[in-house]
Structure 1
Amino acid sequence: MAAAATAISATPPAWNETLPRRGHVGILALILTESAFFSIFVVAYIFYLGKSLTGPFPKDVLSPPILNTICLLSSSITIVLAIRALRANSIRAFAIWWFVTFALGLEFLTGTALEWHRLIYHDGLTIRTNLFGTTYYSLVGLHALHVTIGLLLILLVLILTMCGYMNERHVERTDVLSWYWHFVDAVWVIVFLTVYVVGR
């Protein structure tokens, strides 16, 4: 009897398996899907490089948007600071960093719009001008669409924060949103190198 009791007590405790959170699994699935989607557009842009029969050509009209890039990549830092503030239940600091993230993203989107305005009305480059125009607006436009979606979600969280609905219980949801924003920033690095470095 004592031996049986000893054997039972020596049995290792059952392994407690922790499943990944649904939000994180969902955003990872979305990121993988969108990564494949962006890959198609990047490959198409590279494939059609130099195959336009008429101008304008990339080297004639494109200049690297350095300020826009700095602002967008900086927003990845500010959104991390915002999440840290929310974990510490510092709602005021969260609101400030979250607003800065929104402002940096909005500056990037505004800069893209101004670049497109110059390309269309000054340089005569539209999506139907040549292969360069088609692939350029498709790739950069796809990224701009994702930035717009991210900004709308960030704005929604900002409004909820200003209305007093945000607290440390919402860390996981805002963290999931920050993953999407980091993805948008990472994709821009690839788009920037493809269009403004390799493509010129």
Structure 2
Amino acid sequence: MMLVEVTAPAAEALPVAMLRDHLRLGTGFGMAEDAAETAALAGFLRAAIATVEARTGKVLLARRFRLRLEAWRDPEGQPLPLAPVEAVERVETADATGVSVVVDAGLYRLVPDMQRPVLAPVGAFLPAVPLGGFAEITLRAGFGAEWAQVPADLAQAVLLLAARYHEDRSFAGSAGALPFGVGALIEPWRSVRVLGGRGNPRGRA
């Protein structure tokens, strides 16, 4: 499986002003200084967002992703590794030579779920993946395009973590545990890793 982020969060969607207020930083020191500080704060926010998303499996700001699979985990319904998924925009299958075919959108549907959204077939099974080929799913995921649409506890976790990165530059590259407050905020959102089993992929009762 290979997951690629096709589009990044828009710069204007990042809560730079909120982080600046949280850190009690001033402005007006000059255009160059303010621009450099804004860029640095945006970088800390992107790093914090990436960390929170990796720990929870939740996409905070909406954007497009592409998922490539060598085979369906379950042809009765393919679990998707991100949530919430807004839409599946395109599904393709490709043969061993790389020649791809767009799958008719009438042959599949999205089963939304905050923990494990699923690409489900309209019929019995998803279209077969050619031997030696792959399937590629293009999807849009995220709570929304604006920071106000991010759940409050996840938004607060990002601000706390970005502030930690700002205050301790060495922490940003640390592989250690998250600060306690951040971990407590994101814990209810952490995904339950159940993709190894078949479970109930098509949303049946």
Pairwise same-fold verdict (TM > 0.5): no
Structure scoring higher RCO (CA < 8 A, sep ≥ 6) equals 1
Greater C-alpha radius of gyration: 1
Structure with the larger strand share: 2
TM-score by length of 2: 0.28
TM-score by length of 1: 0.28
